[in-house]
Amino acid sequence: MRLSLARRLPVLLILLLLPALSHAQRLVSVGGTLTEIIYLLGEQERLVAVDTSSIYPAATEQLPRVGYQRTLSAEGVLSVHPDTLLITPEAGPLKVLRQLQDSGIELVTIEAPDTREGIAQRILDVAQALGVAEKGQAAVAALEQRFAQLHIPPAWQERPPRILFLLQVSGSPMVAGRGTAPDTLIQLAGGVNAAGSLEGYKMLTPEALLAAAPDAILVSDQGLVRAGGEQRVWQLPGMAATPAAQSRRLLRLDALLALGLGPRTADAVQQVQAQLEDWRP
């Protein structure tokens, strides 16, 4: 797995700051995937608080939550006396981040694209930030092994399944187009994103839904509960005539797995493939 220079740049920058950062003993993690990686690397002892999206693993329930990643509270973060804040580019508001910086907290931004390579990069970046680069390498190696074990069912070579990820089940449902985490997930699993003509998360009209002709619908467990159950998915306008509805193929994944790429993505891919085991083109 080769990283281009551009992608290596953030890592190099962090390498430069390495001496200062390896002392990160009181860590606040803002971002579910980042938290997951910290546990993966076995560095959870340093973690003092997390954000609301950090729901895996279950041990995070014991930790105080500093709020939603986009609307952090300065005092809330300061109240746990951290020395380092691990964030994604989505963290905010900018004013508060600035305030935290002024208070002497180290802000480390972990940024990586939502691709398979990006997962490894993220793990390496976090490892560098915590001063445990070797653990990071080991984790990445293990990850690569998992990915190597994945294979696309031969039956799918002829025609891969068209999978549609539904973020929101309401009047005009919101689907995941190109460049989103579910999009990568679907591709890794060997399927085709039925909403691949769209960019990002977009609303789909009933006609477009029909035209997309998904073979299966992928939703998050939490999203399904919010929507009110499986029936609501099949009741969506335009859904009835799709192959997915006709064979009642609904794929489910935990929200964190579905919406973010991280250490367990290989597991997620397997889950998707398992749920489509009996699918034939």
Tell the smallest beta-carbon distance from residue 112 to other proteins (Å): 15
Burial 121-136 (b: 16+ CB within 10 A, else e): bbbbbbbbbbbbbebb
Binding flag, residue 7, other proteins (CB under 8 A): no
- Read off φ and ψ for residue 84, nearest 5 degrees: -140, 145
Burial category of 69 from C-beta neighbours within 10 Å (exposed 0-12, middle 13-18, buried 19 and up): buried
Burial class (CB in 10 A: 0-12, 13-18, 19+), 112: buried
Q: Which is nearer to other proteins, 72 or 258 (CB)?
A: 72
The yes or no reply on residue 68 touching other proteins (CB under 8 A) is yes
In angstroms, the CA 262 to CA 114 distance is 9
Given candidates 50, 66, 126, 251, which one binds other proteins under the rule CB under 8 A?
Answer: 66
Q: Residue 21 or 167: which CB sits closer to other proteins?
A: 167
My answer on whether omega of the bond before 113 falls inside 30° of 0, hence cis, is no
In the complex, what is the shortest distance from the CB of residue 199 to other proteins, in angstroms, rounded to a whole number?
A: 8
Our finding on whether 169 is near other proteins (CB under 8 A) is no
Q: Where are the beta strands (DSSP E) in the chain?
A: 27-30, 47-50, 84-87, 106-109, 162-168, 174-176, 192-193, 201-203, 216-220, 250-253
Count of residues binding other proteins (CB under 8 A)?
Answer: 34
- Please, what is the angle between helix 116-130 and helix 32-40, to 10°? 70
Task: State in angstroms the smallest separation of the CB of 101 from other proteins.
Answer: 10
Q: State which residue, 64 or 281, has the beta carbon closest to other proteins.
A: 64
Between 12 and 240, name the residue whose CB sits nearer to other proteins.
12
Q: Does position 25 bind other proteins by CB under 8 A?
A: no
79 vs 247, which CB is nearer to other proteins?
A: 79
Parallel, antiparallel or unpaired: strands 162-168 and 174-176: antiparallel
Of 21 and 49, which CB lies nearer to other proteins in the complex structure?
49
- Cα–Cα nearest to 74, from 89, 54, 91: 91
Q: Can you read off the two tokens belonging to residue 34?
A: 């980042």
Q: Which of residues 114-143 bind other proteins (CB under 8 A)?
A: none
Minimum separation from the CB atom of position 268 to other proteins (A): 19
| 196 binding other proteins? (CB under 8 A) | no
What number of helices (H) and strands (E) belong to the chain?
15, 10
**How far apart, in whole angstroms, are the C-alpha atoms of residue 101 and residue 91?**
13
CB of 166 to other proteins, least distance (A): 13
Strand partners, 199: 178
- Provide the mask over 76-115, with x wherever binding to other proteins is found by CB under 8 A and - wherever it is not: xxxxxx--------x-xxxxx-xx--xxx-----------
CB closer to other proteins out of 90 and 267: 90
Rule CB under 8 A: say whether 206 interacts with other proteins. Answer: no
Residue numbers 212-271 binding other proteins by CB under 8 A: none
Of the pair 5, 94, the CB lying nearest other proteins is at 94
Residues that bind other proteins (CB under 8 A): 49, 52, 64-68, 70-81, 90, 92-96, 98-99, 102-104, 167, 200-201, 203
